[in-house]
């Protein structure tokens, strides 16, 4: 089994990754961890510098997540992509061909309801992925 986990470096994503491993560890899945960095819309020098710092931070977060997965005895492939997260997730899913895509989102609240109406990365992936998608809803501060 191969699982692609969409990772944004947040506390919620860390908890969802741990929960995913807990759910599927007995199947010894190969894990693909994908994080996507959006390019700046304004090509100013200042934005480019901020983008490079952010990209490096995401790379470091991704490396730590991959080390965590490997420490659980699972094979892991870590990918840092640049672009629109919605499109990059679907593109990576086509290339890596996982049996399942896992994506996390925050718990129910007013902000979440607004995002649901306006659309979100997870909603887009659910609507467009050509394979099963599991959306984990975790509340900030939730303990596993």
pTM confidence score: 0.85
Is the C-alpha dihedral spanning 121, 123, 129, 135 positive or negative?
positive
Using pLDDT thresholds of 50, 70 and 90, give the confidence band for residue 44. Answer: low
Q: What is the DSSP letter of 26?
A: G
The string of pLDDT tens digits covering residues 51-108 is 888 899 999 999 999 999 999 999 999 999 999 999 999 999 999 999 999 998 755 4
Using pLDDT thresholds of 50, 70 and 90, give the confidence band for residue 114. Answer: very low
CA 25/CA 74 separation, integer angstroms: 8
Selected residue with higher pLDDT from 86 and 137: 86
Using pLDDT thresholds of 50, 70 and 90, give the confidence band for residue 139. Answer: low
pLDDT, residue 142, reads: 61
Tokens standing for 120?
């979100």
CATH superfamily entry for domain 2-138: HUPs (3.40.50.620)
């Amino acid at each position: 089994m191969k699982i692609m986990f969409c990772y944004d470096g947040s506390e919620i994503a860390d908890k969802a990754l741990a929960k995913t491993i807990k759910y599927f560890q007995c199947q010894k899945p190969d894990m693909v961890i994908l994080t996507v960095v959006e390019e700046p819309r304004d090509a100013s020098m200042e934005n480019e510098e901020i983008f490079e710092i952010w990209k490096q931070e995401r790379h470091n977060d991704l490396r730590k997540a991959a080390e965590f997965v490997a420490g659980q005895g699972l094979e892991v492939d870590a990918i840092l992509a640049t672009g629109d997260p919605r499109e990059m997730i679907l593109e990576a899913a086509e290339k890596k061909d996982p049996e399942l895509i896992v994506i996390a989102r925050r718990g129910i609240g007013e902000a979440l309801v607004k995002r649901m109406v306006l659309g979100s990365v997870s909603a887009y992936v659910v609507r467009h992925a050509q394979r099963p998608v599991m959306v984990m809803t975790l509340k900030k501060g939730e303990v596993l």
